[in-house]
Structure 1
Amino acid sequence: MTRESRGIQSIEVGGELLRALARSGEPMMLRDLAREAGMPPAKAHPYLVSFSRIGLIEQDETTGRYEIGALALELGLISLRRLSAVRIATPRIASLADGINHAVSLSVWGTHGPTVVRLEEPSHPVHIAMRVGSVVALLETATGRAFAAFMPPNAVKTALDSGLDRLGVGYNPKRAPASAKTTEMLAEVRSRGLARAIGDPLPGVNAFAAPVFDHAGHVALVITAMGPEGTFDVGWDSAIAAALRGCAGEISRQLGHGTVQEPRPESR
């Protein structure tokens, strides 16, 4: 008979609040959060104060709602990095960044949409409005489009309906694409095997993004190469595009994906 290790009951009780917030996936008011955790608001509040102090949660000063804090996001990113796809891809994007001499990011589909989990910087400085932990716009960035083009249509529709396209870096409310334009744009991404952004949404910065698939054919992550427009060749048959496709294809093969999509060649 094994003896159960001794724990701290108050931490376990407070943990119900964190679980309730995680299940919700969106900011919650105190009364709703306490109800979901099965405790009165007066009991829940001291736990929330302590969790706020250490960064597990944070409270919006305007709405009063509680949401996941910086420490919880950092822990989540550490967990994501431990996934096999991210572990396999990390050294390869470092080699890719060295080879093309441009910044390369690694993104996964997180709670709030496409989320950057790794960023390899080039030898020369590039002004890029993203960092590890950044969420990028779903339809207005190369990274987001690469996810949207290869995810199940129902998942994309759900994300758009819930407003995930309005949460990320690069979102422009004045340029929300119409449905027909969106369909055409994503069809091109599927045809090319790459998503492309030319000086938009970041002026002066070009980007290519390529999906990485797992053994079941699902998008496991997206690799994005970014650089200044003066040195970043945006031709579909450019050396940068070829290197990115090759890197994504090799990682996909290591994850058990049997078919590598061959892009249609086209001159610039």
Structure 2
Amino acid sequence: MGRESRGIQSIEVGGTLLQALARSGEPMMLRDLAREAGLPPAKAHPYLVSFSRIGLIEQDATTGRYEIGPLALELGLISLRRLSAVRIATPKIAELAGAIDHAVSLAVWGTNGPTVVRLEEPSHAVHIVMRVGSIMALLETATGRAFAAFLPPKTVKAALESGLDHLGVGYNPKRAPKSPKVAEMLAEVRAQGLARAIGDPLPGVNAFAAPVFDHAGHVALVITAMGPAGTFDAGWQSPLATRLRACAAEISKQLGHGTVQP
């Protein structure tokens, strides 16, 4: 069995309990939950204790029934927000791509960093290395910089220290911004509301990237427009930059960003 296929059997066994609870959709007694998962109650109980400790499930002190815990609910809400954001943004980027006649992508913050989930191509052929599923380098691409500028600093620091940035498209250690320059670069992104890449990492191709925020002010998505340097106006106040900012702002508004909370 290859290295990529190896897993932890005990987690997979415990996962059957979570799957059974999800299928039920309501609180369950230990014996019923164990039966649905195909496990003896004595074997199921230690898993439930561990899941309770990390918040994946919780037990009602009165009835003794197990139900979905706060961590599971939080993970579900994050997934729903992300799916909602992508669903709302998809027709918007298609409209933007048609208006500017340049490629436009949609990226989310994934396990390995900025991850492309949608790509609208222009009417004319353009050479881009980005495709759906691509991981973008955090500091060397416009997409990555837009995330880096608006994500919590601890998230960015952890990603860089873990080496996630090295996995991304556009990463080149010889061109990677040095520490003193990074803060300046990200401050410019925040000031302009856009990240910009001019002929780098792909020679002859310019790009702008704009963050999209959710109701809590967190970065939900990044929209990136890219095209040949000869036709892609990379001026901060260019019509293209203005359209991209407006598109990102409109999606943010639909996600509840800027609304007054009760």
Q: What is the TM-score of this pair, normalised by structure 1?
A: 0.68
**Residues 80, 90 of structure 1: CA spacing in aligned structure 2 closer, same or farther, 3 A cutoff?**
farther
**1:126-137 equivalent positions in 2, closer than 5 A:** 126-137=126-137
Deviation, structure 1 residue 143: 0.2
2:180 paired residue number: 180
Residues 47-99 of structure 1, C-alpha deviations (whole Å, 9 max, x = no match): xxxxxxxxxxxxxxxxxxxxxxxxxxxxxxxx889711000000000000000
1:120 paired residue number: 120
- Structure 1: runs of 5 or more not aligned: 1-26, 40-78, 260-268
Instruction: Give 1 or 2 for the bigger CA radius of gyration.
Output: 2
Residue type matched to 2:199 in 1? Answer: G
Residues 133-187 of structure 1, C-alpha deviations (whole Å, 9 max, x = no match): 1101000000000000000000000000001110010000112222111111001
Q: What is the TM-score of this pair, normalised by structure 2?
A: 0.70
1:266 paired residue number: none
Residue type matched to 2:227 in 1? Answer: G
What CA RMSD, in Å, does the superposition of the two structures yield over aligned residues?
A: 2.1
Deviation, structure 1 residue 36: 5.2
2:228 and 2:80 map into 1 onto residues whose CA distance is 29
**1:1-80 equivalent positions in 2, closer than 5 A:** 30=6, 33-34=8-9, 37=12
1:13 paired residue number: none
2:241 and 2:134 map into 1 onto residues whose CA distance is 24
1:82 and 1:160 map into 2 onto residues whose CA distance is 23
2:87 paired residue number: 87
Deviation, structure 1 residue 198: 0.2
Deviation, structure 1 residue 28: 6.5
Contact kept? 1:98, 1:122, Cα under 8 Å: yes
SS of the residue corresponding to residue 249 of structure 1 reads helix
Contact kept? 2:82, 2:220, Cα under 8 Å: no
1:193 and 1:148 map into 2 onto residues whose CA distance is 12
SS of the residue corresponding to residue 8 of structure 2 reads helix
SS of the residue corresponding to residue 123 of structure 2 reads coil
1:213 paired residue number: 213
- What percentage of residue pairs aligned between the two structures are identical? 77
2:106 and 2:193 map into 1 onto residues whose CA distance is 17
Q: Does structure 1 residue 251 correspond to structure 2 residue 247?
A: no
- Structure 2: runs of 5 or more not aligned: 15-78
**1:232-243 equivalent positions in 2, closer than 5 A:** 232-243=232-243
